[in-house]
């Protein structure tokens, strides 16, 4: 049976050239990058090359990139260290109701430590309105964290506008964005956009799991989260994961060589899938600006290209997920990280999805590798399965 993988927001297949460079560095460039001999320099060069590739993709200086073990560490480092670095200037933190758990939970920890937290509401499309942020900012605000792209519905936040507003109102505030679902999918240029801290995960972009980075506008903005041998200019101690970093750099280079065409391809798939959902009984696509009088293609392009959320009235998401799996189609019922602690999606609640649909929603997410034929096959499976499963709905 053919497999159709539509869960790329959870993780992506490692590219062949990425796997190749990882094996090469493990077997040949195996030195410690901190060592002073040739093998150490050889390993260090892979780290430097990856850092340059990533910095070039963001149009920022190389010394602003700190490698981490992934998006969760990057978010924790930005939030916990950012709050600690600014604690003499205030104790107020602002975030949103739709953040990923790797932002939401560290902020809850900061709240437990005595910080005052404001959770911003979003509109029905998952967008933070500037006036909402403006009302929340005050002289005690030290940190604002707003994700660039929502991982469940693909909402694209006006990050540049929000960052500018933040810095104009309260200049000392650190503005952080979780760009884990945004990097490579939409243009992200943190220096131009006024972003102080930006988190990225490698495995969302065909790099190995356990890789990622944090953009830090100025190393003096943060104190370290991990102490030790002083690697990465004292910001993140520990021997660098050379194979993972080399793989990440290779994945970034491959992706950004075709970033525009990748984006167009995924937007085409998303529109194709959304159109097909109009033929599925009870299907409702979430967060695509349905209240605006615009053609579907234009509404789709106001969102991220690779994520689409669909509610299927009367069919539980878990039941439909496994029915699709039996047909070789792999999707998600929400954030992959949240599946370890299942709960009703805060994002869906925040955008006003009907209570009856909260556990009837699936997330479909694409890659540049996803084909039109796969979209059509998945759509056909849904057209067949949803009416059947709907007959067994709970009263």
Q: Is 337 a catalytic residue?
A: yes
Closest C-alpha among 341, 86, 321, 101 to residue 196? 86
Q: Which two tokens stand for residue 87?
A: 């604690």
139 φ, ψ to 5°?
-65, -20
Distance separating alpha carbons of residues 178 and 303, to the nearest angstrom: 16
Q: Which two tokens stand for residue 325?
A: 């799996």
How do strand 92-96 and strand 65-68 relate by DSSP bridges? Answer: unpaired
Q: What is the largest CA-CA distance in the chain?
A: 71
Q: Which H or E element spans position 365?
A: strand 361-365
DSSP per-residue letters across 281-340:
TTEEEESS-TTS---HHHHHTTB-SSEEEEEETTS-HHHHHHHHHHTTEE-BSS-TGGGG
Choose, from 22, 81, 337, 360, the residue flagged as catalytic: 337
How do strand 92-96 and strand 141-145 relate by DSSP bridges? Answer: parallel
* Ramachandran category for residue 210: left, alpha or beta (phi over 0 → left; psi -120 to 50 → alpha): left
103 φ, ψ to 5°?
-105, -50
- Catalytic residue IDs: 337
């Amino acid at each position: 049976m053919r497999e159709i993988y539509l869960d790329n927001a959870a993780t992506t297949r490692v590219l062949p050239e990425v796997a190749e460079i990882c094996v090469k560095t493990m077997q040949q460039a195996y030195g410690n990058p901190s060592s002073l001999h040739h093998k150490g320099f050889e390993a260090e060069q892979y780290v430097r090359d990856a850092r340059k590739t990533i910095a070039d993709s963001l149009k920022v200086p190389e010394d602003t990139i700190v490698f981490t073990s992934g998006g969760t560490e990057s978010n924790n480092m930005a939030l916990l260290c950012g709050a600690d670095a600014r604690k003499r200037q205030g104790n107020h933190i602002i975030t949103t109701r739709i953040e990923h758990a790797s932002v939401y939970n560290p902020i809850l920890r900061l709240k437990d430590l005595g910080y005052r937290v404001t959770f911003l509401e979003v509109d029905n499309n998952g967008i933070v309105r500037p006036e909402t942020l403006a009302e929340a900012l005050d002289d005690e605000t030290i940190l604002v964290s707003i994700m660039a792209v929502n991982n469940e519905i693909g909402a694209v936040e006006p990050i540049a506008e929000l960052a500018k507003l933040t810095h104009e109102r309260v200049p000392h505030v650190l503005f952080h964005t979780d760009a884990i679902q945004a990097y490579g999918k939409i243009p992200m240029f943190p220096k131009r956009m006024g972003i102080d801290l930006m988190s990225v995960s490698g495995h969302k972009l065909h790099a190995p799991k356990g890789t990622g980075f944090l953009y830090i506008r100025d190393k003096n903005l943060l104190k370290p989260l991990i102490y030790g041998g002083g690697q990465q200019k004292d910001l993140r101690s520990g021997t660098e994961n050379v194979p993972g970093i080399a793989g990440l750099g290779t994945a970034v280079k491959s992706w950004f060589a075709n970033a525009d065409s990748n984006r167009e391809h995924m937007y085409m798939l998303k529109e194709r899938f959304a159109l097909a959902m109009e033929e599925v009984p009870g299907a409702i696509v979430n967060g695509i600006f349905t209240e605006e009088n615009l053609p579907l293609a234009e509404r789709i392009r106001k969102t991220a290209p690779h994520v689409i959320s669909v509610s299927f009235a009367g069919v539980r998401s878990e039941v439909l997920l496994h029915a699709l799996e039996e047909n070789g189609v792999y999707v998600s019922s929400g954030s992959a990280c949240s599946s370890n602690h299942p709960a009703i999606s805060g994002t869906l609640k925040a955008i006003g999805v009907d209570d009856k649909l909260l556990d009837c929603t699936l997330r479909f997410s694409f890659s540049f590798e996803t084909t039109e034929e796969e979209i059509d096959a998945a759509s056909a499976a849904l057209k067949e399965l949803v009416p059947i499963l709907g007959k067994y709905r709970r009263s």
